[in-house]
Structure 1
Amino acid sequence: MWYLYGFVLLAGVANAVQAGQNGALSKGLAQSLTAGLIVAAGTMTCILAAGLLSGRLAWPTYQQAAEMPWWAWFGGLMGGGIILVQFVAARQVGAAPFLGLLVTAGVLTSIVLDHFGWIGFEQHPAGIWRILGGLLMVVGVALVAVS
């Protein structure tokens, strides 16, 4: 189980690096949305390769699709939105404030999602330590952004 934390740390590093890569790609092309399609194609290729190599790739059955909550189908749109924001804001804001805001907004949102058990998460109460941790992240991002 602990190795999963290593994967998450690597994904965090990749998230910071990807913002710069996507910003440079967007700047170097005539249209930033073209860069988005290139990024999406790379994402699809990565997931396809992992699925084929692991044997864990299968289209859902009609019954599975019908039983899926309506909101579960929109994660790709949110991922696309994150990539669009990288194109528009990451270079101008800077790597540290950009990723700090991105992660802090995610943590604050996840505290609310956990507290109420929304969108498939198990319920975990937003106790004083979680709330304090979220507030400290806000302060940390403010310090990173102003320096």
Structure 2
Amino acid sequence: MWYLYGFALIAGVANAIQPGPNSTLAKTSTQPFFAGLVVVVVSGSALLAVGLLSGRLSLPDQEQVSQIPWWAWLGGILGAFLTLSQLFVAPKVGAGAFLGTLVTAGVLTSLVLDHFGWAGFDIHPAGLWRVFGGILMVAGVTLVALF
């Protein structure tokens, strides 16, 4: 199971790097929405290629699709919103403040999602130490944004 944390660690590094190339693409092409479409098309192509090469790509049947909760389809919209924030916000506030705010908001939101078991997550109560960790995240991102 520890390898999953390694995967998450690498994804975190990618998350920190991604706004740079994305916003550079938007700035250089002078077309932020074009850049967003490029990001989505390249992401989709990469998922398609890895899915096909690994033999793990298959489409759900109609019965499986009917079992998917309505809110599960919102991930694509949230991903588009995240990409747009990288294109428009990250260049203005800087990598540290952008990613610090992004990660801190994610941690605080995850505390609520875990505590109540919302959005498909198992319940993990928001105890004192988890909440304290969230407070430290807010303090840390405030320092990064101010200095």
- The bucket for the TM-score relative to the shorter chain is over 0.9
- CA shift at 1:30, angstroms? 2.7
Instruction: Tell me, in whole angstroms, the C-alpha distance in 2 between the residues paired with 1:108 and 1:145.
Output: 17
1:1-147 alignment runs, 5 A limit:
1-147=1-147
Tell me, which stretches of 5 or more residues in structure 2 are unaligned?
Answer: none
Structure 1 position 60, deviation (Å)? 1.1
Quote how far apart the aligned CAs of 1:81 are.
0.5
Deviations 1:110-143 (A, max 9, x none): 0000000111111111000010000000000000
- Within 1, Cα distance between the matches of 2:4 and 2:100? 22
Aligned-partner Cα distance in 2 for 1:51–1:132: 40
How many pairs were matched up?
Answer: 147
Counterpart amino acid of 1:115? H
Provide the secondary structure at the position in 1 that maps to 2:125. coil
Distance 1:30 1:86 in 2: 15
TM-score, with length taken from structure 2:
0.98
- Write the distance in 1 (CA, Å) between the matches of 2:44 and 2:131: 36
The 2-side partners of 1:6 and 1:91 are apart by 28
SS class of match (1:124): coil
C-alpha displacement at 1:108, in angstroms? 0.4
Could you list the structure 1 runs, at least 4 aligned residues long, displaced by more than 3 angstroms after superposition: none
User: Unpaired runs of 5+ in structure 1?
Assistant: none
Shift of 1:53: 1.3
2:57 maps to a residue whose letter is: L
How far apart are 1:54 and its partner, in Å? 1.2
Distance 1:30 1:18 in 2: 18
